[in-house]
Structure 1
Amino acid sequence: MLKARTGKTRWQALGAMSGTSLDGVDAAMVETDGVEIFGFGRSDYRPYGSEERAVLTRALGQWGGDLAEAAQAVVDAAHRDILGGFPEAEIVGFHGQTLAHEPRGRGTCQVGDGQALAEALGRPVVWDFRSSDVSLGGEGAPLAPFFHFACARWIGAEAPLCFLNLGGVGNITWVDPLAEGPEAEGALLAFDTGPANAPINDLMRERLGVDCDLDGAVAMEGEVESGALELFLAEPYFARMPPKSLDRNDFSEMIGLVRELSDADAAATLTAMCAAGVAGGMMHCPSPPTQVLVTGGGRKNPVLMEMLRVSLDCPVRPVEAVGLDGDMLEAQAFAHLAVRVARGLPTSSPATTGVRALVGGGVVSRPEGN
């Protein structure tokens, strides 16, 4: 462990996240000991170009081979570009890019070479966060809940609340901030709620040649097709008890459900599907949350946010309302988790991924000679 090598527990940590929406790489600094957040530092964003995104899109669902190798080259180059601009970072949390996720089958596949990145940056890199969890029977996702617990403490929360991440896939973390720690029984519950931005973005690219439904403008003009929404909610996934997780393409047939609809009605229906998945998931919470704090790109969609406010029985606000950065929360999470791995602390639990016991995921790679 790095602690044993240096005696250090409080780090200037840099985290990076390349999510299922395939938009680009987020990078953010956090000062943390892996338990407490002491402050947030600089952040940056490196978008993928259209050719890079096309390479990544072709590789989705791959477990190896030429397409996965091409995707890894894109991921590694993009991360070298952005992470090299943070000389103050003492340790790096590198998530990589998820190509396939099948925890009850073949496992999980994230591309990205942490050792090569450590050599390029000249500092320790923590990566491959999911494999240990999956090998011990966990879902391998979501991984941000232990960080969400630290965020709840940082904002001074005194009652249960939820963090809702609306990226390509939606996931929710119920937090009891009064628990002794994130690994304590009853402190957390986490799971994927269903598809979020991924199918909406795919629809926009297919129909209109744009990356997303900016400000929900297309959905705002449409009406929800109730029959398609009912078919969506009949999927067996929603009846499963959490913890549970999804691959980006698990609900790829959603596009088919709206194929005959107009652009506006299709966008409105896919947006309603995202909100309905979240609303259905709330019944699994151990107790009603006092608020839902939304992070990820979905919080910028006013149509989606209004659907959530109508369907949930508590205030729904973007995380900026409590002083957090919804664009960078996932990247910050992997900065925090990197320090936990370096200190030998757990990063997931039975309540967050369904793993059989507390597990500390992640591999620490150091530059040659360090």
Structure 2
Amino acid sequence: MDAIWALGLMSGTSFDGIDAALVKTDGVGLEAFGPGGAFDYAPGEMDAARAVHADWRPFRRAAAGGDAAATLAQAGREVDAAHAAASARLLARAEAAEALPEIVGYHGQTVAHGPDDPAGGWTWQLGDGAALARALNRTVAWDFRCADVTAGGQGAPLAPFYHFALARALGRGPVCFLNLGGVGNVSWADPEAAGPEAPGALVGFDTGPANALVDDWMRARTGQSCDRDGAAAAAGRVHVDRLRRNSIEAFVARRPPKSLDRNEFVQALEAMQGLSTEDGAATLTALSAICAAGAQAHLPRPAATWILCGGGRLNPTLAAMIAERVEAEVIPAEAAGLDGDLLEAQCFAYLAVRALRGLPLSAPGTTGVPRPLTGGRISRP
């Protein structure tokens, strides 16, 4: 199958904006990377979507109507409109670069994630791929997670299949990709395996909180959206006793597959009460590093290199704390020749082509799904 250009879109639970990137791929290998960029949300642009994410439970019952249903509908329109606008801006650059995409990978906006719900696993992303296909007049792949959850998988992480392709392109292996978003997730990849769905090729799972707890702490204490450059954590002291006052250890020790909702460990924030801003930031940053390093116990064999991705790679305090605890070389994505800001968007461009061609997006080693499984819905304009 010939390689085609694909546009990937990703909006994380930080609600700061949309990452968009172009990749040329046949759904197996990577032929070329095209333009990409980050498109920040304007003030007020995502107010309804933020409200749904902040307290999603009333909106799960919104089908009956009323104010909740109206807010939920507005949230969906906001997400679609923002992604259409970001796509249009990147498509202008793509045309100049002769890299116009044949398909768009639309992750949507995660509201909540409950794969282990005793009443039945579920995952919830805002965003209508059919609406985006009409707006862009392009084929859109979307709803990437639901098929996996329905089949008994965790629905996350989905990045490992893309990380496998990157590991092959880099000629490194085995290698770990550690994505530090709101939640951390790790992909251990052996690029010498026959393919990403082959037994033993991949292990992927969520490690625990990455930036979410520190971001929430800084927002509550200072109004800032994050601990920029890890400055507050660097100036603080880690309170080891506070690290023991939470249940995260049980999650770290649990064997994969496993995945998290962004807000699953809010009790860790409560354990920081009474600390200074700096000490709380330091302690929560250490907690994220401990969670990340704890992933080593669940890997088939050690990786020589850990590649840091996501916004957390720009926090030198967090990166240093991880490097102290991981028995391997720890480098940012850029040191491996990658764009650490665009990897997640590139991932959904890659997965869009796999979905279009009926190739698996997940496997027992990544989400715990019983067998390699394709997924995603395809909407055409």
Taking every aligned residue pair, what percent have the same amino acid on both sides? 52
Structure 1 residue 343 displacement after superposition? 0.6
What is the one-letter code of the residue matched to 2:275? L
Out of 78, 82, 87, the position equivalent to 1:78 is 82
1:68 and 1:222 map into 2 onto residues whose CA distance is 40
Give matches, 1:241-280, under 5 Å: 241-280=255-294
Q: Is the 8 A contact 2:215 2:227 kept in 1?
A: yes
Q: Is the 8 A contact 2:46 2:75 kept in 1?
A: no
Instruction: Report the more deviating stretch, 64-73 or 212-221.
Output: 64-73
Q: Which residue of 1 aligns with 2:228?
A: 214
Structure 2 residue 339 is the aligned partner of structure 1 residue 359: no
Give matches, 1:303-314, under 5 Å: 303-314=317-328
Q: Which residue of 2 aligns with 1:45?
A: 38
Q: Is the 8 A contact 1:10 1:31 kept in 2?
A: yes
Q: Which residue of 2 aligns with 1:4?
A: none
Number of residue pairs matched by the alignment: 359
Q: Which residue of 2 aligns with 1:349?
A: 363
What is the one-letter code of the residue matched to 2:84? R
Deviations 1:291-333 (A, max 9, x none): 1000000000000010011111111100111111110000000
Change (3 A) 1:224 1:54: farther
Out of 129, 133, 153, the position equivalent to 1:118 is 133
Q: Is the 8 A contact 2:174 2:304 kept in 1?
A: yes
What is the one-letter code of the residue matched to 2:232? V
Partner-residue secondary structure (3-state), 2:205: strand
Instruction: Report the more deviating stretch, 134-143 or 41-50.
Output: 41-50
Partner-residue secondary structure (3-state), 2:366: helix
Partner-residue secondary structure (3-state), 2:185: strand
Out of 175, 197, 205, the position equivalent to 1:183 is 197
Q: Which residue of 2 aligns with 1:324?
A: 338
What is the one-letter code of the residue matched to 1:32? T
Structure 1 runs not aligned, ≥5 long? 1-7
Instruction: Report the more deviating stretch, 98-107 or 227-236.
Output: 227-236
Q: Which residue of 1 aligns with 2:65?
A: none
1:235 and 1:289 map into 2 onto residues whose CA distance is 23
Q: Is the 8 A contact 1:23 1:53 kept in 2?
A: no
1:225 and 1:52 map into 2 onto residues whose CA distance is 38
2:287 and 2:48 map into 1 onto residues whose CA distance is 28
Structure 2 residue 109 is the aligned partner of structure 1 residue 94: no
1:244 and 1:130 map into 2 onto residues whose CA distance is 14
Structure 2 residue 296 is the aligned partner of structure 1 residue 292: no
Structure 1 residue 50 displacement after superposition? 3.7
Q: Is the 8 A contact 2:236 2:282 kept in 1?
A: yes
What is the one-letter code of the residue matched to 1:83? S
What is the one-letter code of the residue matched to 2:115? P
1:51 and 1:221 map into 2 onto residues whose CA distance is 33
What is the one-letter code of the residue matched to 2:107? H
Structure 1 residue 233 displacement after superposition? 5.8
**TM-score normalised to the size of structure 1?**
0.94
Q: Which residue of 1 aligns with 2:253?
A: 239
Partner-residue secondary structure (3-state), 2:245: helix
Structure 2 residue 142 is the aligned partner of structure 1 residue 138: no
1:276 and 1:239 map into 2 onto residues whose CA distance is 11
Structure 1 residue 69 displacement after superposition? 2.7
1:194 and 1:228 map into 2 onto residues whose CA distance is 17
2:236 and 2:271 map into 1 onto residues whose CA distance is 15
2:159 and 2:4 map into 1 onto residues whose CA distance is 18
Q: Is the 8 A contact 1:244 1:353 kept in 2?
A: yes
What is the one-letter code of the residue matched to 1:206? A
Q: Is the 8 A contact 1:15 1:28 kept in 2?
A: yes
2:334 and 2:222 map into 1 onto residues whose CA distance is 30
Instruction: Report the more deviating stretch, 119-128 or 84-93.
Output: 84-93
Structure 1 residue 54 displacement after superposition? 4.5
**Which 4+ runs in 1 deviate beyond 4 A?**
none
Out of 15, 28, 33, the position equivalent to 1:22 is 15
Change (3 A) 1:351 1:82: same
Change (3 A) 1:199 1:70: farther
Structure 1 residue 120 displacement after superposition? 0.6
2:328 and 2:24 map into 1 onto residues whose CA distance is 31
**TM-score normalised to the size of structure 2?**
0.91
Partner-residue secondary structure (3-state), 1:89: coil
Q: Is the 8 A contact 1:96 1:110 kept in 2?
A: yes
Structure 2 residue 188 is the aligned partner of structure 1 residue 174: yes
2:347 and 2:24 map into 1 onto residues whose CA distance is 11
Structure 2 runs not aligned, ≥5 long? 63-67
Q: Is the 8 A contact 1:166 1:299 kept in 2?
A: yes
Partner-residue secondary structure (3-state), 2:144: coil
Structure 1 residue 84 displacement after superposition? 1.4
Partner-residue secondary structure (3-state), 1:352: coil
